[in-house]
Chain A
């Protein structure tokens, strides 16, 4: 496996947008009149996570924004980070976001499902953006330890 490296500020920039987007989704999902808009946003968000999880954070729309608009304004990064952990985090995000989408499409009766999943994504994205805390890494280790995933 080639060890590709990325600017660690890229995924954190993406996580900031995701956490704000999830707050918007939750706000819209809490009211019946705007519920459909929330489902649409979750659908877009799921597609973004799918890109990040399959092609990597650099190809993710937020990654492209970071590279095109934000990175030129910043100094060179102090150190690069392994591209795999944030990519794995995208996969976790994709799973949660897909679940949220399924609940969303099932209709307002399943509102609580969408809200729980969107809150989960918000939590992970917020902890990453603000505290550099990688929830995906913890989940990975927990899964590996319980032999749920093969390493």
Chain B
């Protein structure tokens, strides 16, 4: 293949990868509003926190995070959400390992970890964040729920 054609192929590949990367990072960490009335039954999750079963949702907000072992940003997200829990009364953070509950991955259609569902006081899903969220994104979502 002539030199200029080869260069063209490589430039095309780099461009394509850049576009895909930009597209992925533009989607990642953004909150998407959910309005399908889906309600989470806590008993179906079998969630535990600090070794104890979770028996009650957060009074105002619950952050339901799906993680996996092989995900590097899950841990960061977990730490971030734990800190948010400490700073906000009536807020509960649950971290579920999808590897142990692949049935839940199917139920909630989790394609990426971390995925965080934000639930209101009744356990209805109000928004969904795929990828590692920023503090401001979560705070904005909490604000909407608390001031409702």
- A interface, CB within 8 angstroms of B: 8, 23, 26-27, 30-31, 79, 81-82, 84-86, 88, 119, 122-123, 126-127, 130-134, 136-138, 140-142, 144-145, 147, 151
Q: Report A31 CB to chain B, min CB distance, Å.
A: 5
Q: Is the CB of B6 within 8 A of A31?
A: yes
User: Chain A residues with Cβ under 8 A from B70's Cβ?
Assistant: 84-85, 88, 136-137, 140-141
User: Which 3 residue pairs are nearest across A and B when measured between Cβ atoms?
Assistant: A131-B21, A151-B99, A126-B17
A-B contacts, CB under 8 A, total = 90
Which secondary structure dominates where chain B touches chain A?
Answer: helix
Q: Is the CB of B111 within 8 A of A141?
A: yes
The answer to the question of B72 belonging to the interface, with a C-beta cut-off of 8 Å to chain A, is: yes
Which secondary structure dominates where chain A touches chain B?
Answer: helix
A140–B97 CA distance with the chains assembled, in angstroms: 14
- B interface, CB within 8 angstroms of A: 1, 5-7, 9-10, 13-14, 17-18, 20-22, 24-25, 28, 68-73, 75-76, 98-100, 102, 105-106, 110-113
User: Chain B residues with Cβ under 8 A from A137's Cβ?
Assistant: 68, 70-72, 112-113
